[in-house]
Amino acid sequence: MSLIEGRGFRPWLAASTVSVFGDSLTFFAIGWAAAGFGADAASLVLTVEGIPLAVLVLAGGVLADRIGIRRTMAACDAAMVLVMAAFAVGAIGGAELWMLVAVGALSGTLQALRRPAEGVFPRLFGTGDLDRRMALVASAHQIARTAGPAAGGFLIGLGGLPLTAGLDAATFALVLTALLLVRPPHEPAPKPSEGSVWRSLVDAARAARHTAGVVPVLVAVTGLAVTVLPLVMLTLPLAGRERGWTAAETGLVSGAWVAGGLVMTLIVARRGAPRAPVAVAGPVVAAAGVGVLALFTEVWAGVLAIGLVGAGTTMLTTYLFPVYVTRTPPEMLARFSSLIQLAQTGPVLIATPLLGAAAGVDVRLALVVIGALLLATVPAAIRVAKLPNPIPQRV
């Protein structure tokens, strides 16, 4: 089944992209409101949203395999409609800090339960053109995430948190409606009786260990996660301050990561996943970008460097993710998805303070460590590339 013929895929993609946009603008508005209470308050709101993503994502995989992928997504979206609608009403008279914390915690929890199902949802429309389909989802959602904060800043001036939260509730209602109407042709039947949650996770871990290519993908994704996210979110701002860049200049450099990745995902959505040698070269390109950032202090060099990081990492991930999803057993789709979600979020909690300590000594030291870790993902990527037909032929 081709990308164009996938029944219901395009309506769901359109609705989910609108929902991502609504979520992005709302949480920019929440972060802005939290910053009004001070730096500690803003950090608290960010933390209470991030912790559930690492702690509960495995449970989300078990839940989706047991009650159904589409049903899990719909239930989480319905809950978010209620959360955002209640927040919109409660914020009419002004949002207290406890309200921002509560919304962050609830949103993080529901995202953790939903993400494993959402990560494999494109496969339910068939494995043919899966690489293009996943890249199309990634690029559409990335554009929405990029546009959301700008729109959030504008809407805060018009109606504040009640307006942004109300719009977010409406976008969740839209994607919920799409999920209720769409019937993916390859949706596996839920399996509600599989013993305890722990047993289900152990079974998935064992299956992952014995499925060719899965462990190397997880290793490579972990390597990218512990380098790229701390680079953009922590090391880059520290480098900007050290080099005398303004906030606007540092933001421009940071945005180059999104731009570089978006260019690559759009190419993949059009032409398919990169060939194995190109994909394996991705971490090398990203490491070269980190090297440019370490050697040159000008803003233009920072834009070029971070753009290379975004493009290089996406060269590899747009190859790895379809391989991983394609090789997942149908009865364990969401649990395998939760493993790769954990690989993207859990190690970052450990790597960020360590790289922060290195950057506190010398920003260039942190950049050297990041570049070395990026190159360390190459052997795992090569193992995946050596698999026979890692990405199936399109039909």
Q: What is the CATH number of the domain that holds 290?
A: 1.20.1250.20
Residue 4's pLDDT is 39
Dist CA 9 CA 53 (whole Å):
26
Which range of 26-40, 66-80, 238-252, 270-284 scores highest in mean pLDDT? It is: 66-80
Range in 12-16, 81-85, 177-181, 385-389 the model is least confident about: 385-389
Same domain, 374 and 323: yes
pLDDT band at residue 169 using 50, 70 and 90 as cut-offs: very high
Q: Confirm whether 373 is domain-assigned.
A: yes
For residue 243 the two structure tokens come to 């080099």
Q: Distance between CA 281 and CA 299 in Å, rounded?
A: 25
CA angle 183, 192, 120 (to 5 degrees): 45
Q: Does 149 share its domain with 273? A: no
Q: Which domain holds residue 240?
A: 206-385
Q: What pLDDT, in 10s, does the model give residues 27-46?
A: 778 877 876 777 677 667 77
57 and 166 co-located in one domain: yes
The number of domains in the chain is 2
Q: Name the residue among 147, 157, 177 with its Cα closest to residue 16.
A: 177
Instruction: Answer yes or no: do 146 and 67 share one domain.
Output: yes
DSSP state of 234: I
CB under 8 Å to 47, separation ≥6 — which residues? Answer: none
**pLDDT at position 8, please?**
81
Residue 5 has pLDDT above 50, yes or no: no
Evaluate whether 80 touches 110 at the Cβ level (below 8 Å).
Answer: yes
Whether 357 maps to a domain, the answer reads yes
Residue 350: Cβ-neighbour burial (10 angstroms; 0-12, 13-18, 19+): exposed
The pTM for the full model equals 0.78
User: pLDDT at position 232, please?
Assistant: 76
Residue 3 pLDDT: 42
Mark whether 232 and 174 lie in a shared domain: no
What does the pLDDT read at residue 247?
Answer: 65
Helices (H), the chain: 9-35, 39-55, 57-67, 69-90, 97-120, 130-181, 197-210, 214-230, 236-242, 247-271, 276-295, 299-326, 333-361, 363-376, 378-385
Model pLDDT, residue 393: 42
Domain for residue 332, yes or no?
Answer: yes
Examine the domain organization and report whether 108 and 150 are in the same domain. yes
Whether residue 76 is found in the same domain as residue 152: yes
Q: What is the mean pLDDT of residues 329-350?
A: 83
**Quick one: 92 and 234 in the same domain?**
no
pLDDT confidence of residue 391: 56
Both 115 and 222 in one domain: the answer is: no
Residues 161 and 264 in one domain: no
- Asked, for residue 193, whether it belongs to a domain, the answer is no
- Would 191 be classed as within a structural domain? no
Six token digits for residue 276: 């194995």
Per-residue confidence (pLDDT) for residue 390, from 0 to 100: 59
Does 217 lie in the same domain as 178?
Answer: no
In a domain, 315, yes or no: yes
SS3 185: coil
Asked whether residue 159 is domain-assigned, the answer is yes
Q: Do 327 and 216 form a contact (C-beta atoms < 8 A)?
A: no
349 located within any domain: yes
